[in-house]
Structure 1
């Protein structure tokens, strides 16, 4: 309100000043003479003032007309003028409107509309860095991959859009399954943007799939430097890559380099079972029994595994069953309550023909955690103690429908693998194999061909003769848990008529049963 009052006062003051000047000029005497050559004009002071104002007005209008004519001339000459800037602003406004419409169409899933709007925007804006990307994405949405690839290639010409162009072509090559070209494009994209997280993920995945372990380790280090990966995850994955490199070098005959890489992998991740096994094997090549024991024991404490037990057994392959059983005691005492420890102790006792000790080592594991392996061990114990054939068959019948226990299972696709690998063979994900019990639906069929010897014995044995066995003898007896007060059947119990058939079911009692899929 104060500003309005000030403006009113200024207007009144201006009117008063003009009035005073006009009054002064009217009251002033004399005349104003203007001479132009031989012509002379005599004017009153007021008329002279008006003439001066008219002269200034005409001069200003003439100047503006001359400026307009000059601007028109420069406009037609191609120079930048106010006229050209006006048309440019108008064209730019229409271009950005088309660009906005294209973005809206792209978000709505209208690929062809987005392409048309992008073309219109390019016509008005002449900004390929803005319009080509929309055109490429719209072409992809419309299924025109060839046209989209052409747009992405055009983006490669500009330094500002080169990375986007490489990313677009990379995505297309991945969709086509051309991993060779995709790997080269990912490396190019990584060189352009070394800290781009998605690019590093794609590059690492392709390198691990192609078994480029050295390149994958460099990419992994770059992710750590870019703070795109937690340090503990980096350490674990670096250990897996070092283990993969160790395997590769050993297969190539470079034992020394393979040993160094295996030791590095074990140092980075002592609980990585395959790394511990390979490191122990490398130590044993040079007689490092103590170092091998230390590595295996540390890994066993982290997670008991059949492969660790097998590697521990290989340290002294020529020992007697009793000696081996005694040598395993320090390992078994570290995790006495683990199911793997109980089954291993029972297997060692079976080999040593200590069947009561094997039963004691198993405890109630066959009832609390029934697996194919634990139930087969119980069948071997019953066979070794001289139990009737139908009792042994009862344990084996239960084993057919039981879980196979922990196996190498991919955490991404739940695929079961026979042995550990750094990359899943099915989904190509890196470091996703865990030693765990697979989901029930993903377990291998129990009635597969590898279980046939447990059911029917050796085929050759079956063709020798055909025996008729009374139904009561063939009917399996469902095993029940025996208390410690009930003595086991005497070992001298005479075998039944079908005892020869059981040789194919149980096999040699001196052979330690092994669970399928425990390889490293």
Structure 2
């Protein structure tokens, strides 16, 4: 519409000027070299327009003539590009079919597009398959220059250096990922993992901010993550004989219920004042009972009279209403000191429908040690074979089972996937001579089904 309106205005103005000149032609006299030229205004205007049009047409013709070689070259490049792209697609198809020789042959035929995103994608796959590490790394580095392949290049290159154990290079590469909401969360979590492994504390805090800003993590999840990070920091400082109460307090501020943090703070307090530590344990147990806390009590009373440990445990288990944990904790302590009646009474309070493998095995131990009843002991072992598993520290990603909490899973290297959970079942056979110590988790249990997070 705008073009039509503009054309109408131009034609109207031109027509008006033409009519005006026709009505007022006038005369123009020009003297040049003794010549006297007399003419009218319309003639001068016509000659001027004619010269202008002649110049424009001449310029256009010369431009077309001189652009012919470039046009030919452009069409030639276009045809080669189309042909090379088709060849690359054929090569990728051959690669996915497992025809690697054909894929390599087609890749060479498409050399015209070397260093293009699609060709780099093909070449990295082929060089990875052929274990050409130097060329593979070089191609991945070239990928970083193209927006289309940058994220893939960053991911593959950082994983390559990580697998080689070069955490510093892996950290530098993953740091190149764009900080935006369009960047997958994997890059932010992996950057966090690499900085954790490098113990770059300032970068770790910065990574958490990026995760909070650019990923879909919830407020509750970010609090849990911060809690685990600060606990890890406190544990690492402790390895270097540096007591970091500030970090452990920050960890507990974000998640006051996390047993490993509670136990670690209790250990730090115990080094200063055992009464202070025990009061803290009682206060924590009242709200957040956990077997790890009970194990800590057992540790610190290891060299004291057994009856004192039993009395302390009895008093501790009266502080909250978690019947299951209270009674299984009391039963374990009672069995360890030979108080069979207390152990049996504690276990019988737990409804049998809630019994786990360890409870059945404790009943087996009781029958064997208290009465020497091997038949009854074997009966409980048989019941244990199909019982629910006990809660344990396990990875929600790979089902790795650990004796203690880890920030990074030792098996799959994922961050904050070790949780206190109960696996649904196990096909692991229990030998009749098994004890509670024997069946403790000691590594990957491939036969475990999906974990149930608590």
Tell me whether 164-173 or 415-424 shows the greater mean CA deviation.
Answer: 164-173
Q: Which residue number in structure 1 is paired with residue 395 of structure 2?
A: 410
Q: Secondary structure at the match of 1:409?
A: strand
Alpha carbons of structure 1 residues 298 and 227: separation in structure 2 relative to 1, 3 Å:
farther
Q: Which residue number in structure 2 is paired with residue 377 of structure 1?
A: 362
* Residue 202 (structure 1) shift: 2.2
Q: Which residue number in structure 2 is paired with residue 459 of structure 1?
A: none
Alignment of 1:466-505 (within 5 A): none
Q: Which residue number in structure 1 is paired with residue 99 of structure 2?
A: none
* Unpaired runs of at least 5, structure 2: 96-102, 444-454
Alignment of 1:66-85 (within 5 A): 68=59
Matched, 1:268 2:192: no
Q: Which residue number in structure 2 is paired with residue 242 of structure 1?
A: 230
Q: Distance in 2 between matches of 1:61 and 1:513?
A: 102
Matched, 1:440 2:425: yes
* Residue 268 (structure 1) shift: 3.4
Alignment of 1:94-109 (within 5 A): 109=92
Indicate the RMSD between aligned Cα atoms, in angstroms: 5.3
- Among 124, 139, 142, which residue is 1:140 paired with? 124
Q: Which residue number in structure 2 is paired with residue 367 of structure 1?
A: 352
Q: Distance in 2 between matches of 1:380 and 1:444?
A: 19
**TM superposition score normalised by structure 2:** 0.68
- Among 188, 210, 216, which residue is 1:200 paired with? 188
Alpha carbons of structure 1 residues 296 and 173: separation in structure 2 relative to 1, 3 Å:
same
Contact 2:257 2:288 (C-alpha < 8 Å) held by counterparts: yes
Q: Secondary structure at the match of 1:437?
A: strand
CA-to-aligned-CA distance 1:200-238 (integer Å, 9 cap, x gap): 222123334x36363663344332553534343233223
* Residue 425 (structure 1) shift: 1.9
Q: Secondary structure at the match of 1:440?
A: coil
CA-to-aligned-CA distance 1:49-99 (integer Å, 9 cap, x gap): 99767754664466457x639x96xxxxxxxx7877898789779878987
Q: Which residue number in structure 2 is paired with residue 331 of structure 1?
A: 316
Alpha carbons of structure 1 residues 162 and 396: separation in structure 2 relative to 1, 3 Å:
closer
Contact 2:267 2:277 (C-alpha < 8 Å) held by counterparts: no
Alpha carbons of structure 1 residues 60 and 143: separation in structure 2 relative to 1, 3 Å:
same
Contact 2:327 2:349 (C-alpha < 8 Å) held by counterparts: no
Contact 1:271 1:299 (C-alpha < 8 Å) held by counterparts: no
Q: Secondary structure at the match of 2:406?
A: coil
Q: Which residue number in structure 1 is paired with residue 452 of structure 2?
A: none
Alpha carbons of structure 1 residues 38 and 252: separation in structure 2 relative to 1, 3 Å:
closer
- Among 414, 426, 439, which residue is 2:411 paired with? 426
Contact 2:231 2:247 (C-alpha < 8 Å) held by counterparts: yes
* Residue 287 (structure 1) shift: 1.4
* Residue 352 (structure 1) shift: 6.4
Q: Distance in 1 between matches of 2:186 and 2:227?
A: 22
Structure (1 or 2) with the larger CA radius of gyration: 1
**TM superposition score normalised by structure 1:** 0.61
Q: Distance in 2 between matches of 1:19 and 1:268?
A: 88
Contact 1:115 1:134 (C-alpha < 8 Å) held by counterparts: no
Q: Which residue number in structure 2 is paired with residue 501 of structure 1?
A: none
Contact 2:151 2:177 (C-alpha < 8 Å) held by counterparts: no
Contact 1:217 1:238 (C-alpha < 8 Å) held by counterparts: no
Q: Which residue number in structure 1 is paired with residue 328 of structure 2?
A: 343
* Residue 363 (structure 1) shift: 1.7
Contact 2:143 2:153 (C-alpha < 8 Å) held by counterparts: no
